[in-house]
Amino acid sequence: MALTIALIGYGKMGREIEAVAEQRGHRIAARVGREGVGAHDLSAVDVAIEFTQPDAAFANVQTLLAQGIPTICGTTGWFARIPELDCSEAPLVFASNFSLGVNITFQVNRYLAELMAPHSDYRAKVEEIHHSAKKDAPSGTAITLAEGILADNPQLNGWALQPSAPDDALPITAIRKNPVPGTHTITYDSAFDQLSLTHIAHSRAGFALGAVVAAERIQALPSGSHNFASLLFPEAK
């Protein structure tokens, strides 16, 4: 079914989503920039896709949901406030990363963490590299990967950003340099050997495809908040 889509945020990511959506037969009805959601009549759209900034995302998403508009949100750095949202009028699908490859990596990361948990000789760490315009550090993707490791490693006391991570925390290193769209590496290191799992994004197109796939699938969802991974892997924990 062809969808009528509102793009909330029309920067590089918004333009990439537009290209992918149109390739898949959908129509972009609104492109919302700095003027804000309130400046547009969105009553005819089927779904909104929000990629803006952490300080704007909560208000944008709440306004869209209040209008009964199913909403996809890929802005990271604000997810702790999702429980504050009123999702009774429409569904929300959110993700720290909409790349299909990254979401597969999340699942592999959880399974790897289970396998490594009994082996205390190995020390886990996470590294992420992004372009210098990315505002939040560590990335939402790195935090999701860290949470996957921590779920099976009770010896670790949360995660912490390097270089000030304490010895009992999972260290995350955040590097900003251009023109990297996104690289995430989980490493288990011991005195004997090293094991690594890496995802490298070649462009923003993979993130855009995932967001459009979410927009297509959200039409069948009930009101409430839904993690994108639950759409891709409904049987996964």
Looking at residue 223, its pLDDT comes to: 96
Q: How far apart are CA 41 and CA 54, in angstroms?
A: 23
Indicate which residue of 125, 130, 199, 226 is catalytic: 130
From 40, 119, 131, 134, the catalytic residue: 134
pTM higher than 0.85, yes or no?
A: no
pLDDT above 70: percentage of residues in the chain: 99
Where residue 136 falls among pLDDT bands split at 50, 70, 90? confident
Instruction: Map out the domains of the chain with their CATH numbers.
Output: 4-98+204-232 (3.40.50.720), 100-200 (3.30.360.10)
DSSP letter for each residue of 171-224: EEEEEE-TT---EEEEEEE-SS-EEEEEEE--STHHHHHHHHHHHHHGGGPPSE
pLDDT digits (tens, 9 = 90+) for 213-231: 999 999 899 999 999 998 8
Range 197-216 average pLDDT: 93
User: Region 50-55: what's the mean pLDDT?
Assistant: 93
Active-site annotation holds for 134: yes
Residue 236 pLDDT grade (very low, low, confident, very high; cuts 50, 70, 90) = low
